[in-house]
A and B are shown apart, each in its own frame.
Chain A
């Protein structure tokens, strides 16, 4: 018997498989990120956002302008030397105001999106896992809150309570968590039947561990896509609040507020008080929407565009 083994030719393991090198299978996130990076529009969107972050936070270090002490001599002057985008009715330089105003808009946007996503994800995951009557009751609450127009409620509560970055972000976040909760609940209902959940359950994990350690990380692709759209919606809501006069007040500047002041000068022809701010808002929202669309295409196979 052993003599047969000795007469066999020596076996050498193959050094390289035929057809080329075998690459390590990358994780789903890496694959998604790569397909995201190949989408040119997504790269443009990321570029726009990076530009705004630099413009709003690093810009004021390089471009000094006063946004608290008004200078009525210089008010409403057209773009020219000294004021690249002109001045508004208080004499504030518009480029400087754009930089500072962007800080508030982006901060509120991101903070509101985070609050909404955290609340919505937990609510949806718990409802999806519980099922039955609890699920029905939780989703009826979502339906009730979804039926009331978001803008109205945010305007009412914001006019009454809000006038700072944090309070506005909390108000918007508290009324925007409904969409993520529905999405996460849908994901959890699918994930619930998978084997790894059964394995986790049978190895004795508590329900909170199931939700936090297993369900939510696997539903994360939906959540990430939703965050970008929430940021876009929050920036739009802030601009509506500011336009109607209920956003942040002087001396804190905000893009919506700038637009509201500029609109009263529409008939005077002071276009530099309106359109640069408008362009900033549109670009920021468009960048978030582009990134969200591209992430959705990259991360979620089922929704891949034809």
Chain B
């Protein structure tokens, strides 16, 4: 097992290096000489060239890449010229806020999708299963922002149960405590993320539970005379949750993307709004640093999911 994990770790490192190379190439292609952006449109060509040379933007590609990697290793993600701040500071300030939203969304998605998928598999092709499948299908085909808009229209504007936007305290104080202390305002954003994830997870969970139900050990457990409840709890649940672990690891890019759109719809001041503002300002250091962070999170998430699967599934360990 440890050789498998070592091999996976080695592959992950190679993929991380590949991601950094890709991001750096994009950075060079799109934003290779930021002297013009920093000094403004009225600066003379000579001063722009001098600025670029002084900051090392005319060095060969590989030299710049190695200095970029050196900076990364020391935690320096570059500096945003539009906001006059190091990118790492901006990311660190906004990350807890976004992590709170995404974490809640993921938590509720797993808590809802897991029993829902098992229910759908056990009662397959009945009315409940068909309603759930249709609902999941429609939600899956909807753009995230439309889902958010529908929730706002229904619950905030028509029924007046929840407020329209994000908690006001978060915008004012820029800290996650404002979000934690206002659960009523967090309901709609979290619900949007949760519904989107549940749509995908429950389809997957249903098919993996169906696969597990067809196995021989379920038949043996029933033949032994175990009550159905125990058959489900003791045998089905444990075996059906294994593919979920892989799915959770693979869904990190989708979670980040959903986060981006949802924060934009609800005006929640996290990393997503930072990304969209940076897009409008053409602030490429922030954009590419966030993309790099997303890539690194994905690789780490996949690796952790692999480890978790190896721990949970003895068949992989002994293979």
Contacts and interface: CB of A to CB of B under 8 A. Distances in A.
B256 interface: yes
Given A156-B288, A263-B149, A266-B149, A286 B294 contact: no
Contact of A240 (B11, B140, B210, B261): B261
Interface in B134-172: 137-138, 140-146, 149-150, 152-153, 157, 164
A115 to B, nearest CB: 19
The 3 closest A-B pairs by CB, nearest first: A144-B18, A151-B257, A149-B253
Interface stretch (A67-75, A82-90, A207-215, A242-250): A242-250
Given A148-B295, A152-B291, A232 B18 contact: no
B287 interface: yes
Interface of A: 140-141, 143-145, 147-153, 155-157, 159-160, 232, 236, 239-240, 243-246, 259, 263, 266-267, 269, 271, 274, 278, 281-282, 285-286, 289, 306
Given A150-B257, A156-B30, A274 B143 contact: no
Interface centre among A269, A271, A286, A306 (most CB of B within 10 A): A306
Contact of B164 (A243, A267, A269): A267
Contact of A289 (B11, B140, B145, B253): B140
A152 B257 contact: yes
B260 A140 contact: no
Given A147-B19, A148-B294, A266-B152, A285 B275 contact: no
B15 interface: yes
A243 B265 CA distance: 10
Interface residues of B, number: 50
Interface centre among B18, B254, B256 (most CB of A within 10 A): B18
Contacts of B254: 149
Given A144-B19, A286-B141, A244 B146 contact: no
Given A151-B253, A151-B261, A240-B261, 10 more contacts: A140-B14, A147-B295, A147-B299, A156-B30, A156-B279, A240-B143, A243-B264, A245-B280, A266-B157, A282-B141
B26 interface: yes
Contacts of A151: 253, 256-257, 260-261
